Structure 1
Amino acid sequence: MSFGKGCHLHLIDGSAFIFRAFHALPPLTRKSDGLPIGAVAGFCNMIFKMVEDNKGPDAPTHVAVVFDKGSHTFRNDMYDQYKANRDEMPEELRPQMPLTREATRAFNIACVEKEGFEADDIIATLSVQAREAGGRVTIISSDKDLMQLVGGGVEMFDAMKNKRIDSDGVREKFGVGPERVVDVQALAGDSVDNVPGAPGIGIKTAALLINEYGDLESLLDRAEEIKQPKRRQTLIDHRAQIELSKRLVQLDDAMLLDFTLADLEVKEPEAEALLTFLNEMEFRTLTKRVADNLGVEAPAIADTNPAGANPNEAADAPVNLPFVPEDYECVRDADALKTWIAKAHACGWVAVDTETTSLNEMRAELVGISLSVEPGQACYIPLGHKDGVDDLFGSAAHADGQMPMDDALALLKPLLEDPAVIKIGQNMKYDAKIFARNGVSVAPIDDTMLMSYALNAGLHGHGMDTLSERYLEHTPIPIKSLLGTGKSAITFDRVPVDDAVKYAAEDADITLRLWKLFKPQLHQKRVTTVYETLERPLVPVLAKMEMTGIKVDRDTLSRMSNAFAQKMAGLEAEIHELAGQSFNVGSPKQLGEILFDKMELPGGKKGKTGAYATGADVLEDLASEGHNLPARVLDWRQLSKLKSTYTDALQDHINPDTGRVHTSYIQSGANTGRLASTDPNLQNIPVRSEEGRRIREAFVADEGKVILSLDYSQIELRILAHVAGIESLKQAFREGQDIHALTASEMFDVPLDQMTPDIRRQAKAINFGVIYGISGFGLARNLRIPRKEAQGFIDRYFERFPGIKEYMDDTVAFAKEHGYVQTLFGRKINTPEIGAKGPQAGFAKRAAINAPIQGTAADVIRRAMIRMPEAIEGLPAKMLLQVHDELLFEVDADGVDKTIDAVREIMENASMPAVKLDVPLTVDAGQGANWAEAH
């Protein structure tokens, strides 16, 4: 069949399919010989899906899968740095590349590639030929470089997002039509392909310029007219580079090809050839699906692993099926719900998600529950939706078509508590607390957020939207589209049920797909132990602790607020006197003018707004040089923050039903394994200042009880002594010496019996500063001393303890080689910025040095917390808070001694048996009517 009017050509970007399959799916090996075949499996699934979907009037008449052949193209001859920053192809992908070509031919689809050219050039040439012949073209890819081809009968289709990209879609992406895409790319450059572009000009600015001047050539010819001096000079100075960039991004659409469009005619797969290939690859599931589709019997696959199924079989799971919101079910009665419960029991797992009226788990009301058991199969059970019409008292009637909540929970409770069915959630702690408040104890659980955290700490966030977009290439329905924003925003119970179904069921569907993806990777990336011993078992411990909460005395907070206000007024008067005039101390602009214009202090730098920078770092530098006014402003700002963040805001966080504050802990909040705390954040109450310590007075024990605090003593220094092998420090810890006094004695040659508090304080700042990779600048700020003196301290420290410098250098070298660092318990903290240049480099190195130490300390206290419920069972004690190295309990007055003994035993031995430290862990205990007394 010749190609002409009425024909429809599909051009599939083969390389995009392969890399998508390789990176999105777990590794898979052929049972018989261990050959890596994960990318081939994913590629075949995607090709088969395209074949299945392309039926009907819009089906292609011609089709080709287009590949890159080799890495050297004519663009490398033009610019030797083109794609020079690309990583080497992973070893396990290399043998799979020829197999994807075999797979394409097995499906009886034209397989196209050409030495010296990229797949994009072949796609461009075929698109132009097809358009000129009067036909239509659909390019199956999301590659932005191909968007220059769209228009005149050519469109793109993003198969992962099930989304068509036409001229409007290109304009949305680039801010210009397809005909000007190369002009914008030439200016903006491309870090992925190492196309240089114009320094400092991004997509938005590039589009602005092209829209104003018409095209790139006109812009460059008229660059002198540009008003912004920096932009003008960039275009003038880098003209040759920009013109080269355009040649690099411009696709060659006039290649000489050794075939014609007619050779790409769609052909039916030949059953024997296709099934033979799939059989050789040992793709059981796909072989059966294809055989059923072709109406023939699937060939038998020899069982090369009689002992059990392939542990990587999940790789064949259709996690990359399209999301079809219309397919989700709304469960409105008991019979329908029983069907879903039976499905969950049959497969042994179910993804669960709740919809509520608030993010505050202690106040939120349950509105609905969603479930998913297979990718693409999900349901929503509406329970608490209102009909949207308020009565005279501001409340609305219950919407029709919902099950009574008690009935639904009675049916779900046995499933959610069944030890034989795993309940999968994304941030499962939230849902577990919602269910707990409704009488259901959810267990056992898996949590995709925590799986991602164990696998990918340091690489990206672990929220569902991020994970869905990154690993499923799917953008979830935004909650704002249902609730609105600002003052007019509604709560989820006011969302119409039909809209809620699509949003809520999708969440469960996404969660299940992520679980199928991440679960096998835990083993493959050797983080199963971290997930199973440090992450998953901590969830119920934190949930119980958060629900218990801690009592806060409103009157104490109120008195403190007034005291802080008075002290701030006194500081303001002192600041005005030092300045010689009144001004608004809280205004950075006015402060900058006082410091740098009126007082003419050094270091004034203006930002884009024309105002001077007056951040804490600027003020700390000035204070360290002996200037009083910035030092007083720092004191005023600290009081202001304490007042607004704690003494005022904490009063709003007191739960009216319990009289207690219920913080929420975020397990994945810090890359190192440290917990973060939110609503309110109780991790950041300052401990060094008298005012910060006083805030703890408001955290009180109930009548007849005391607050008990147990705190690791200098745990991070102990871990540093262990990992860096510092014998003198290890010995000092074993003998119970004052480590800061010892450091001061070593550094400043002062005998221990002549030690002054000031010298010890400096040594303490250096000890802790070194752990965090502190610089001379940072130490100068902390001690408010000149930088030169501070740097001298650090240099002397490394001379006296050379093992610490060696540890630091070794850790940075390991991070550069492997891309991550590790705690003593195997937690991996990825270090993607370790090779960065400029200021980022120093930050990345400090983070890499600190992460194994801080992370190991965090792992130790997690291990202690996980063992704690069993240790204090039967004692009149409840665990209330964790703040870094400290655990807080509320205990009956007569149970204090027994609780201290039990808790100390667990904490001091928490690293065992996994890690035996060379130094003892010691725990200080304190008690009192409030946290300040106990700490």
Structure 2
Amino acid sequence: MSAAKTSKTESEPKKPDHVFLVDGSGYIFRAFHALPPLTRADGTPVNAVLGFTNMLLKLISDTDAEYIAVLFDAARKNYRNEIYPEYKAHRPPPPPELIPQFALIRDATKACNVPQLEMEGFEADDLIATYAKQAAEAGAQVTIVSSDKDLMQLIGPHVGMLDPIKNRPIGPAEVEEKFGVGPDKVVDVQSLAGDSTDNVPGVPGIGVKTAAELIKTYGSLDELLERAGEIKQPKRREALQQNAELARISRDLVRLKNDVPVKQPFTAFARREPDAATLIPFLEENQFRSVLARVQGQFAKKSAGEAAAADGVGKGHAAAKQAAAAAKPAGEAAYKLVTTEAELAGWIAEAREKGAVAFDTETTSIDPMRASLVGFSLALEPGRACYVPVGHRGGPPPGQLDLGGDGEGGLLPDQIPVAKAVALLKPMLEDPAVLKIGQNIKYDMLIMAAHGIEIAPYDDTMLISYVLEGGKHGHGMDELSELHLNHRTIHYEDVAGSGKSQLTFDRVPLDKALAYAAEDADVTLRLHQVLKPQMLAERLDSVYETIDRPLVPVVGAMERNGVRLDRKALQDLSADFATRLVELEKQIHKLAGHEFNIGSPKQLGEVLFDEMGLGGGKKGKTGAYATGADVLEELAAQGHDLPARVLDWRQLAKLKSTYTDALQEQINPKTGRVHTSFALAATSTGRLSSNDPNLQNIPVRTEEGRKIRRAFVAEKGCVLLSVDYSQIELRLAAHMAEVPQLKDAFRHGADIHAMTASQVFGVPVEGMDPMVRRRAKAINFGIIYGISAFGLGQQLGIPQGEARAYIDAYFKRYPEILGYMDRTKKFARDHGYVLTLFGRRCHVPGILDKNPARRSFMERAAINAPLQGTAADIIKRAMIRVPPALAKAKLQARMLLQVHDELLFEVPKAEAKDTAALVKKVMEAACAPALELDVPLVAETGTADNWADAH
């Protein structure tokens, strides 16, 4: 050190030590409520632990404190309960899913190398008060990390507070704003106002505002109580005189104890940096992958130094650095608006050089079949992305008053023409040497396909997340960003507004569009760098590489194909349904004796339970009777006509509004077809789900549902081909539970329901009563969905005891099924998920729930998920193989829909027979070579001019 620097250092006054005292309880509950439910593989809930760990690590990183400690409550009861036994008596117990996290949070504090303290008989607030006083008297500056109002009484010349969520200081001005007095009078105000949360009684009828006025007038609580007789308002005067002792007790409860006999001074809380040997194993054990990636990068950088980083320190260090960069807040970014072809060419050239680029499109609609390209974004490394506008318009949206711009709402200047931008992009997006990374990339593929571009190869962060944690949480970018990057993204409403005044993206100003769109690509790239290594480490890449990723273009092609609808048939059905609804209304009103609004649950409940006096009426919180389907079905089963007719009315009204009316509006005017959107990452079991419109929920067993399906028709010269797996989940149950009788029956093509009826009920197959077979069928399918005796009784219309006897007889005949169910539930409890035969994880986060009803529900889900999930994997494998098989055979069929276990095709009439044979062969062999089942898969085919007759 030079002499000049030494002299300067010695001449400066010593900066006061800074002490951070963290309110552990406040951190815990903030973390718990801030994050969605999250469990480890063994089912232990850890969302609060994750949030707490993130907050504590951020605090350590951001603060300049010389001393830091976390103070916890030791128990719910303390010395205040001796003063006032009812203190905090009304506080509900912590949520069941939080209780097992308390000990883990102590472990997290230890892993972060932060001192912690708790003492029996005292609250954390008392420890904070004691250490704040001790440190302040020693000349230190104290910051209490909390927003708890009870701690505001401690604020003074050397003591401040920091709200950890809003990251803003709390000082005397903020206290004055909240309590109407300064910190030194907070206790007096609280003594009068009380606190219902902690059951501090206070003085009845006096709130914070009144208490502040009284304390300002009389100076202190003691002075006020002594002079209470001077108060002019009779009620206020009497309240103070009659409850003076309660006010003094309240003061003892709210006043923090600053002389707790602590065993160590605040100097024992010297700040220490986290130790990799302790922190990393803790993060690994709790599966906090994004935090792990971040801290590994920090440790690696610290240990290696800049020189080592320049020379290269091996692949492990490089990966850690990359993951750490990805986990940085996305706000630390440099985004560029690209408006010239030369600039765009530069970004594209760099993408090809790097070999990977995150890509995202911005359009005028969420429906890719109706959307126009407005712009696109590219990200090359975390924090570095660009947005390329190609379709932004000036002026107001059509139909609004033009107040400026170009006067015509035409394209803004300084944009690359869309045709030129697409021409520049095409070679890179189709380059097999460049990996394109997207979030729900199916949408972007559909948009670019309209411009003649087939994106390949690609990765999808949504699908990677789905393979890792399907069933645990959503997989949208906003949620994943908060969960893995601890970053809140810019939401669409932030740049385009909401409601009726919401703009389409082509009307969003370019500065806002840049921030929003470039962030999308940036966050996608960061998520990829965090999630892809996790997927590989957990060996889940087989599901992703062989099922979910190759399915994307197949489903995209189905959506582009759409399905033709007979508009006239739909119009006729709507008219028919409307006539029948009027007739049903008349019948219902006649049964009720007067007209009422059948669609009003309140009015319906009054008719059923007040006027007609039917039993079983239960009122909810609003005071209205419950009139859900379960209630009406129970009443109908008792023989009451009115609720039965209301059920008919509701079903018909739903079909009319959801399908016969709505489908007419959803016919694309350009194609004359309806184009549903298949969500690839929406269910917990791997099934696809259909949206806008949902074509998977059209009833297949009712006449009305079949009439709607008849409106789905083939193009002229074609037929619709339906290929449907027969009883696939029952076949899988026979294989997975290893039931010899069922496996043998499926191998020999026996009637499985008749066989079950024969074996369970002891009746011969020949001449079997159809009702007996129906009951066996209900049991067969009900068992694999974890049906209860109550549910089976409801379904069959029999007493619960009889239904229980059926289930017991079933398990006695097929004990292997019960064994499978018990094994599956145990596996779910131990791991937090179940597995399909192809290795897909289906998470069941509520499997350890303390609430018996929720736990039972998740146990039933756990039983069915391996069956339904395996069936979903099988049909996905078939879908991937069908298009190349058709192309190889030179058949022109187009796949239109996937509905659970069924695939629907549009086929030239002359090729119907060959196509049916080919698709059947592919579907029945879909498991091979990865899996060989003990039972055969059977796919049944049907062709017709419409969907109903083909199925």
Match of 2:858 in 1: 844
Q: Which consecutive residues of structure 1, in runs of 5 or more, have no partner in the other structure?
A: 25-37, 51-59, 102-110, 190-196, 199-207, 219-238, 270-280
Do 2:379 and 2:386's aligned partners in 1 also have CA atoms closer than 8 Å? Answer: yes
Match of 1:882 in 2: 898
Match of 2:521 in 1: 508
Partner amino acid, structure 2, of 1:324: G
> Residue 513 of structure 1: CA displacement?
1.3
> Residue 324 of structure 1: CA displacement?
3.0
> Residue 787 of structure 1: CA displacement?
3.7
Residue of 878, 889, 893 corresponding to 1:864: 878
For 1:209 and 1:421, locate their aligned partners in 2 and report how far apart those are by CA, in whole Å.
Answer: 70
Do 1:454 and 1:827's aligned partners in 2 also have CA atoms closer than 8 Å? Answer: yes
Residue of 490, 501, 508 corresponding to 2:503: 490
After the TM superposition, which residues 243-392 of structure 1 pair with which residues of structure 2 at under 5 Å, given as runs? 297-298=307-308, 309=316, 312-313=319-320, 316-324=323-331, 327-389=334-396
What SS class does the counterpart of residue 398 from structure 1 fall into? coil
Do 1:13 and 1:65's aligned partners in 2 also have CA atoms closer than 8 Å? Answer: no
Q: Which consecutive residues of structure 2, in runs of 5 or more, have no partner in the other structure?
A: 1-9, 37-49, 82-92, 200-204, 213-220, 222-245, 275-292, 403-407
Q: How has the CA–CA distance of structure 1 residues 392 and 913 changed in structure 2, closer, same or farther, with 3 Å as cutoff?
A: closer
Partner amino acid, structure 2, of 1:368: G
> Residue 126 of structure 1: CA displacement?
6.0
> Residue 903 of structure 1: CA displacement?
0.9
Match of 2:736 in 1: 723
Match of 2:819 in 1: 806
For 2:658 and 2:377, locate their aligned partners in 1 and report how far apart those are by CA, in whole Å.
Answer: 36
Match of 2:936 in 1: 920
Do 2:471 and 2:842's aligned partners in 1 also have CA atoms closer than 8 Å? Answer: yes
For 2:294 and 2:373, locate their aligned partners in 1 and report how far apart those are by CA, in whole Å.
Answer: 46
Confirm whether residue 637 of structure 1 aligns to residue 650 of structure 2. yes
> Residue 496 of structure 1: CA displacement?
0.6
For 2:544 and 2:149, locate their aligned partners in 1 and report how far apart those are by CA, in whole Å.
Answer: 37
Do 1:619 and 1:631's aligned partners in 2 also have CA atoms closer than 8 Å? Answer: yes
Q: How has the CA–CA distance of structure 1 residues 147 and 550 changed in structure 2, closer, same or farther, with 3 Å as cutoff?
A: farther
After the TM superposition, which residues 105-144 of structure 1 pair with which residues of structure 2 at under 5 Å, given as runs? none
Match of 1:553 in 2: 566
What SS class does the counterpart of residue 518 from structure 1 fall into? helix
Do 1:709 and 1:886's aligned partners in 2 also have CA atoms closer than 8 Å? Answer: yes
Match of 1:415 in 2: 428
What SS class does the counterpart of residue 366 from structure 2 fall into? coil
For 2:590 and 2:12, locate their aligned partners in 1 and report how far apart those are by CA, in whole Å.
Answer: 87
What SS class does the counterpart of residue 627 from structure 2 fall into? coil
For 2:12 and 2:810, locate their aligned partners in 1 and report how far apart those are by CA, in whole Å.
Answer: 78
Do 2:389 and 2:416's aligned partners in 1 also have CA atoms closer than 8 Å? Answer: yes
Confirm whether residue 156 of structure 1 aligns to residue 162 of structure 2. yes
Q: How many pairs align? A: 835
Q: Deviations over 1:197-218 (max 9, x none)?
A: 78xxxxxxxxx99868979xx9
> Residue 714 of structure 1: CA displacement?
0.5
For 1:885 and 1:523, locate their aligned partners in 2 and report how far apart those are by CA, in whole Å.
Answer: 30
Q: Deviations over 1:485-530 (max 9, x none)?
A: 2222211111110111111111112111111111111122232212
Q: How has the CA–CA distance of structure 1 residues 309 and 256 changed in structure 2, closer, same or farther, with 3 Å as cutoff?
A: closer
Q: How has the CA–CA distance of structure 1 residues 360 and 714 changed in structure 2, closer, same or farther, with 3 Å as cutoff?
A: same
After the TM superposition, which residues 472-871 of structure 1 pair with which residues of structure 2 at under 5 Å, given as runs? 472-836=485-849, 837-871=851-885
Q: Deviations over 1:117-152 (max 9, x none)?
A: 999988776666666788766678999999998897
Do 1:624 and 1:783's aligned partners in 2 also have CA atoms closer than 8 Å? Answer: no
Partner amino acid, structure 1, of 2:672: G
> Residue 775 of structure 1: CA displacement?
2.1
For 1:140 and 1:531, locate their aligned partners in 2 and report how far apart those are by CA, in whole Å.
Answer: 43
> Residue 112 of structure 1: CA displacement?
5.2
Match of 1:86 in 2: 101
Do 2:67 and 2:269's aligned partners in 1 also have CA atoms closer than 8 Å? Answer: no
Of structures 1 and 2, the larger Rg is shown by 2
Q: What's the RMSD between the two structures over aligned residues?
A: 4.8
For 2:319 and 2:381, locate their aligned partners in 1 and report how far apart those are by CA, in whole Å.
Answer: 17
For 1:524 and 1:703, locate their aligned partners in 2 and report how far apart those are by CA, in whole Å.
Answer: 52
What SS class does the counterpart of residue 318 from structure 1 fall into? helix
> Residue 627 of structure 1: CA displacement?
2.6
Do 2:18 and 2:67's aligned partners in 1 also have CA atoms closer than 8 Å? Answer: no
What SS class does the counterpart of residue 394 from structure 2 fall into? strand
> Residue 677 of structure 1: CA displacement?
0.7
Using the size of structure 1 for normalisation, the TM-score is 0.78
What SS class does the counterpart of residue 737 from structure 1 fall into? coil
Do 1:66 and 1:122's aligned partners in 2 also have CA atoms closer than 8 Å? Answer: no
Confirm whether residue 66 of structure 1 aligns to residue 68 of structure 2. yes
For 1:321 and 1:146, locate their aligned partners in 2 and report how far apart those are by CA, in whole Å.
Answer: 32
Q: Deviations over 1:227-264 (max 9, x none)?
A: xxxxxxxxxxxx9xx99xx99x9897978586678997
**More displaced, 249-258 or 820-829?**
249-258
For 2:739 and 2:174, locate their aligned partners in 1 and report how far apart those are by CA, in whole Å.
Answer: 60
Partner amino acid, structure 1, of 2:651: Q
Do 2:109 and 2:115's aligned partners in 1 also have CA atoms closer than 8 Å? Answer: no
Q: Deviations over 1:28-78 (max 9, x none)?
A: xxxxxxxxxx99x9999969964xxxxxxxxx7x52363569x99587998
For 1:288 and 1:730, locate their aligned partners in 2 and report how far apart those are by CA, in whole Å.
Answer: 55
Residue of 906, 925, 933 corresponding to 1:909: 925
Match of 2:287 in 1: none
Q: Deviations over 1:720-745 (max 9, x none)?
A: 11111221111111111111222222
Partner amino acid, structure 1, of 2:814: F
What SS class does the counterpart of residue 687 from structure 2 fall into? coil
Q: How has the CA–CA distance of structure 1 residues 299 and 668 changed in structure 2, closer, same or farther, with 3 Å as cutoff?
A: closer
Q: How has the CA–CA distance of structure 1 residues 286 and 131 changed in structure 2, closer, same or farther, with 3 Å as cutoff?
A: same
Q: Percent identity?
A: 49
For 1:746 and 1:709, locate their aligned partners in 2 and report how far apart those are by CA, in whole Å.
Answer: 33
Q: How has the CA–CA distance of structure 1 residues 707 and 391 changed in structure 2, closer, same or farther, with 3 Å as cutoff?
A: closer
Partner amino acid, structure 1, of 2:686: G
Match of 1:274 in 2: none
Q: Deviations over 1:692-717 (max 9, x none)?
A: 11111111111101100000001011
Q: How has the CA–CA distance of structure 1 residues 779 and 99 changed in structure 2, closer, same or farther, with 3 Å as cutoff?
A: closer
> Residue 569 of structure 1: CA displacement?
2.5
**More displaced, 363-372 or 765-774?**
765-774
> Residue 925 of structure 1: CA displacement?
0.2
> Residue 889 of structure 1: CA displacement?
0.5
For 1:704 and 1:282, locate their aligned partners in 2 and report how far apart those are by CA, in whole Å.
Answer: 60
For 1:583 and 1:98, locate their aligned partners in 2 and report how far apart those are by CA, in whole Å.
Answer: 65
Partner amino acid, structure 2, of 1:579: A
Q: How has the CA–CA distance of structure 1 residues 176 and 834 changed in structure 2, closer, same or farther, with 3 Å as cutoff?
A: farther
For 1:516 and 1:260, locate their aligned partners in 2 and report how far apart those are by CA, in whole Å.
Answer: 41
Q: How has the CA–CA distance of structure 1 residues 115 and 602 changed in structure 2, closer, same or farther, with 3 Å as cutoff?
A: closer
Q: How has the CA–CA distance of structure 1 residues 583 and 140 changed in structure 2, closer, same or farther, with 3 Å as cutoff?
A: closer
